[in-house]
């Protein structure tokens, strides 16, 4: 079942799998059925910028649905969680606005 839209905040393991049982997800891009927005921090040591750019390139060339990647130059992993030391109010506010816009642009509204 396809979802109307999805947003991922600092999702690791997409390009470089985590283990033999959690392999890279890049091969799934051509079959994506859900518009997807990915939000990443450039200073996240667990998700290298190079991986994020590989993901962006693959999405651009292989996804058959709307897909986008946004990077935040000064944000670390967990930048949206306001109880973590890595919280970034500026990145979190922008990411939340983009999330709402993404859903607004991709999800159907119920009829009144």
Between residues 12 and 68, the one the model is more confident about: 68
Q: Is 14 helix (H, G, I), strand (E, B) or coil?
A: coil
Specify the pLDDT at position 110.
78
Specify the pLDDT at position 7.
98
Q: Compute the mean pLDDT over every residue in the chain, rounded to the nearest whole number.
A: 94
Question: In which order are the strands placed within the sheet that holds 6-9?
Answer: 6-9, 36-41, 67-72
CA angle (13 as vertex; 100, 2 as ends), nearest 5: 50
Please determine, for residue 14, whether its predicted confidence score (pLDDT) is greater than 60. yes
Please determine, for residue 95, whether its predicted confidence score (pLDDT) is greater than 70. yes
Give the pLDDT mean for 56-67. Answer: 97
Strand intervals (E) in 11-81: 36-41, 67-72
Q: Tell the burial category of 83 from Cβ atoms under 10 Å away from its Cβ (0-12, 13-18, 19+).
A: exposed
CA angle (10 as vertex; 38, 45 as ends), nearest 5: 135
């Amino acid at each position: 079942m396809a979802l109307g839209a999805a947003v991922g905040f600092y999702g690791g393991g997409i390009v470089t799998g985590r283990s033999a049982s959690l392999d890279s997800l890049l091969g799934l891009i051509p079959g994506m059925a859900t518009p997807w927005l990915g939000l990443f921090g450039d200073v996240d040591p667990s998700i290298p910028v190079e991986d994020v750019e590989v993901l962006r390139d693959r999405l651009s060339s292989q996804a058959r649905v709307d897909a986008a990647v946004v990077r935040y130059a000064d944000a670390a992993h967990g930048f949206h969680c306001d109880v973590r030391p890595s919280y970034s109010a500026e990145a979190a506010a922008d990411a939340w606005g983009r999330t709402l816009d993404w859903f607004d642009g991709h999800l159907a509204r119920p009829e009144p």
